[in-house]
Chains A and B, each alone.
Chain A
Amino acid sequence: MSALLRVQDLKKHFPIGKDLFGRPTQVVHAVESVSFDVEKGRTLGIVGESGCGKSTTARLLMHLIEPDEGRISIRGKEFGNIGGRHPVAQLRRQMQMVFQDSYASLNPRLTIEDSIAFGPQIHGVSETLARQQARDLLDRVGLNPSVFIRRYPHELSGGQRQRVNIARALAIKPEIVILDEAVSALDKSVQAQVLNLLSDLKKEFELTYLFISHDLNVVQYISDDVMVMYLGQVVESGPVAQLYENPAHPYTRALLNSVPAQTPGQSKNYIVLEGDPPNPIAPPKGCRFHPRCQFAKAICAEKEPETVKVSGSHKAACFKLPGSVDHQTYIRLQEVSHEPRG
């Protein structure tokens, strides 16, 4: 089955700081060679600590930030602002996004109806029709149109606003919806309702989701496949069940360990994630996770591990994996006594 969305070698560096002559002094390595495929009708969860480049990836996909390098294609058609690629405007008809901050992502001066009807009108739908569709969509996301259309964002609760944001994204009739921490700011009970709504909508409109979150439980609940990011790189990816049952990368294991156990008293084989993630301004050499990894050996600080197959479509980037070219070297090396730096 060929991929609906294919992303290859996406890269973005941000210059920061200014020296005497106004030149950038440092570079943030926000997203480094990120590649993945999403198949039609599936949900890809993207997880990682804050600052790992999840949200930047989302904005790069929408071309809200111009990527430095990389290819983004839908059904084999490549989109971008470079000559020879299909225009970004077309990409934005097929892919939409829901943001984390439900308040900041709605124009406070526009009514709910105006906000939802804005997008379709840009694409040539008549105002009357766009308004009718806005009402239908409001109804569909569980908000009574006759009550809500004339309201302003500040008159709604966080959950209601996020439903409006979902309706706004769907108004363009996209195939792919990026949900960037879309339920993270909501209360647990509201979160569950919105997640259920998202599942329902996905079936009804045959959507494909990119679900970005730092909440591993939520990702497990909604995703078919999961991709784990660390400091702008993908460290592990695969079907949700395999990845959660049998995490291959030490970082994924550590992340999953940090999640409160579902069954109380259940023992875990502890891998502790110590310290804050290192600074993306000066990412460590070699494997970016090595300063926090308890399995790190000398090679990890020198060489970047390549992504290898674990089983089926389950892949990870670590020298510990037998598939890794340098696996033998890794095995022979002494373990370095691990003193977490942070």
Chain B
Amino acid sequence: MFAFIIRRFLFAIPIALAVAAVCFSLVHLAPGDPLTAVIPADAPAEVVIAIKEAYGMDRPLIVQFGSWIQRAVQGDLGVSVATGRPVMGDIGLALSNTLTLAFASAFIGFSGGILLGALAAFYNGTWVDKVATAVAITGVSIPHYWLGLLLVIIFSVQLDWLPSMGAGPGGSSNWRWDWAHLQHLVLPAVTMCFIPMGIVTRTVRATVSEILNSEFVVALQARGLRASRITLHVAKNAAPTVLSVMGLQFGYLLGGSILVETVFSWPGTGYLLNTAIFQRDIPLLQGIILVLAMFFVALNLLVDVLQTLMDPRIKRG
């Protein structure tokens, strides 16, 4: 098991490198020159060359990649073509806002999903089960950006209960844990929690009912064990599967927040990515995707290791 964990760590390194390579090569997917945003269309040839040199884009690709990686490891992701500010600072601020939103929706979605899924499994076939199944299928079928719009229409436009734009009063982009800011968090967090809630409900329902039907639980019941003890047994056995699903879902919340952040003008990475795309700000685009993907790689690693530690049956030697 120990060897597996070490190998899993080592295995993450080439993945991380390959991910970085994909992020880097995104520039070259783009039609035209990545510097069109800064070079005026009628610029003379020597100006174009000078700008290219300034951004280091006159060197061979592999050299560019090497130095990009080298600087990225040190936390330098270059300078935004649009604003001229270091990319890393903007991303750091945005990431903290995205994480706040992701944690909030993960909290609502996971607790709701576990509760619904467990209820559905314990009361298999009853109306509780049907409601849970309906929530699950709705959660995975609903376009969350539309759900966000719907919530804005109901709670902001019609009822005027909650704000719909930004992370704080007056379009502030600095998150603080106070009532004014929390109000801004409610709608986007609820919007985003539906997908993880649906998927966690589904997973918990399937895992728990499988365990409940397994012979060892039937044996426990036959021995007259109290319900609370059985619940503990079930929870212990369902935990590894559910945990790995939740880990993945948290990653998707980080990476998939772009649409919801756009709907609510939430100043996170998704919103920043949207800006980067439309300003064709390639260093910013690369930087955001790299940071989010690295988060996801690390998260996957963490989930795998935790799952191995928790589940004695997995002996990936």
A and B touch in the complex (CB under 8 A): yes
A18 to B317 alpha-carbon distance, docked (Å): 6
Q: A residues within 8 A CB of B6?
A: 20
Q: A residues within 8 A CB of B43?
A: none
A235 to B198 alpha-carbon distance, docked (Å): 61
A22 to B14 alpha-carbon distance, docked (Å): 15
Tell me if B54 is interfacial: C-beta within 8 Å of chain A.
Answer: no
A341 to B62 alpha-carbon distance, docked (Å): 62
Q: A residues within 8 A CB of B7?
A: 18, 20, 22
Q: A residues within 8 A CB of B317?
A: 17-18, 25
Tell me if A19 is interfacial: C-beta within 8 Å of chain B.
Answer: yes
Q: A residues within 8 A CB of B3?
A: 18-20
Q: A residues within 8 A CB of B10?
A: 20
Task: Please give me the residue from chain B that is nearest to A22 by CB atom.
Answer: B7
Task: Please give me the residue from chain B that is nearest to A19 by CB atom.
Answer: B3
A25 to B317 alpha-carbon distance, docked (Å): 10
Closest Cβ of chain B to A308, distance in Å, is 42
Closest Cβ of chain B to A263, distance in Å, is 41
Tell me if A's interface is mostly helix, strand, loop or mixed: loop
Closest Cβ of chain A to B273, distance in Å, is 37
Instruction: Kindly supply a per-residue 1/0 record for chain B positions 1-41, scoring 1 wherever the CB is within 8 Å of any chain A CB and 0 otherwise.
Output: 00100110010000000000000000000000000000000
Task: Please give me the residue from chain A that is nearest to B316 by CB atom.
Answer: A18
Q: B residues within 8 A CB of A22?
A: 7
Q: B residues within 8 A CB of A18?
A: 3, 7, 317
A17 to B317 alpha-carbon distance, docked (Å): 6
Task: Please give me the residue from chain A that is nearest to B4 by CB atom.
Answer: A18
Q: B residues within 8 A CB of A19?
A: 3
Closest Cβ of chain B to A26, distance in Å, is 10
Closest Cβ of chain A to B270, distance in Å, is 38
Closest Cβ of chain A to B2, distance in Å, is 10
A340 to B7 alpha-carbon distance, docked (Å): 39
Closest Cβ of chain A to B317, distance in Å, is 6
Closest Cβ of chain B to A252, distance in Å, is 36
Closest Cβ of chain B to A115, distance in Å, is 34
Q: Which residues in window 271-292 of B have CB below 8 A to A?
A: none
Q: B residues within 8 A CB of A17?
A: 317
Instruction: Kindly supply a per-residue 1/0 record for chain A positions 91-116, scoring 1 wherever the CB is within 8 Å of any chain B CB and 0 otherwise.
Output: 00000000000000000000000000
Q: Which residues in window 1-36 of A have CB below 8 A to B?
A: 17-20, 22, 25
Q: Which of A17, A18, A25 has the most CB of B within 10 A?
A: A18
Instruction: Kindly supply a per-residue 1/0 record for chain B positions 79-90, scoring 1 wherever the CB is within 8 Å of any chain A CB and 0 otherwise.
Output: 000000000000
Task: Please give me the residue from chain B that is nearest to A25 by CB atom.
Answer: B317
A22 to B316 alpha-carbon distance, docked (Å): 12
Closest Cβ of chain B to A248, distance in Å, is 41
Closest Cβ of chain A to B15, distance in Å, is 15
A20 to B6 alpha-carbon distance, docked (Å): 7
A190 to B260 alpha-carbon distance, docked (Å): 65
Closest Cβ of chain A to B4, distance in Å, is 9
Closest Cβ of chain B to A177, distance in Å, is 39
Task: Please give me the residue from chain A that is nearest to B10 by CB atom.
Answer: A20
Closest Cβ of chain A to B312, distance in Å, is 18
Closest Cβ of chain A to B147, distance in Å, is 42
Task: Please give me the residue from chain B that is nearest to A18 by CB atom.
Answer: B317
Q: Which residues in window 259-317 of B have CB below 8 A to A?
A: 317
Task: Please give me the residue from chain B that is nearest to A21 by CB atom.
Answer: B7
A18 to B316 alpha-carbon distance, docked (Å): 9
A19 to B3 alpha-carbon distance, docked (Å): 7
Closest Cβ of chain A to B315, distance in Å, is 10
A272 to B3 alpha-carbon distance, docked (Å): 41
Closest Cβ of chain A to B305, distance in Å, is 15
Closest Cβ of chain B to A27, distance in Å, is 15
Q: Which of A17, A20, A22, A25 has the most CB of B within 10 A?
A: A20
Q: B residues within 8 A CB of A20?
A: 3, 6-7, 10
A22 to B7 alpha-carbon distance, docked (Å): 9
Instruction: Kindly supply a per-residue 1/0 record for chain B positions 232-276, scoring 1 wherever the CB is within 8 Å of any chain A CB and 0 otherwise.
Output: 000000000000000000000000000000000000000000000
Task: Please give me the residue from chain A that is nearest to B317 by CB atom.
Answer: A17
Task: Please give me the residue from chain A that is nearest to B11 by CB atom.
Answer: A22
A19 to B10 alpha-carbon distance, docked (Å): 13
Closest Cβ of chain B to A314, distance in Å, is 44
A292 to B265 alpha-carbon distance, docked (Å): 76
Q: B residues within 8 A CB of A25?
A: 317
Closest Cβ of chain B to A15, distance in Å, is 13
A17 to B7 alpha-carbon distance, docked (Å): 13
A254 to B230 alpha-carbon distance, docked (Å): 47
A20 to B7 alpha-carbon distance, docked (Å): 6
A144 to B109 alpha-carbon distance, docked (Å): 60
Closest Cβ of chain B to A297, distance in Å, is 38
Instruction: Kindly supply a per-residue 1/0 record for chain B positions 95-134, scoring 1 wherever the CB is within 8 Å of any chain A CB and 0 otherwise.
Output: 0000000000000000000000000000000000000000
Closest Cβ of chain B to A125, distance in Å, is 47
Closest Cβ of chain A to B12, distance in Å, is 14
Closest Cβ of chain A to B35, distance in Å, is 43
Q: Contacts A17-B317, A20-B7 given; 9 further ones with Cβ under 8 A?
A: A18-B3, A18-B7, A18-B317, A19-B3, A20-B3, A20-B6, A20-B10, A22-B7, A25-B317
11 sampled A-B residue pairs with Cβ under 8 A? A17-B317, A18-B3, A18-B7, A18-B317, A19-B3, A20-B3, A20-B6, A20-B7, A20-B10, A22-B7, A25-B317
The 10 nearest A-B residue pairs measured at CB: A20-B3, A17-B317, A20-B6, A20-B7, A19-B3, A18-B317, A22-B7, A18-B7, A18-B3, A20-B10
Q: Which residues of B contact A (CB under 8 A)?
A: 3, 6-7, 10, 317
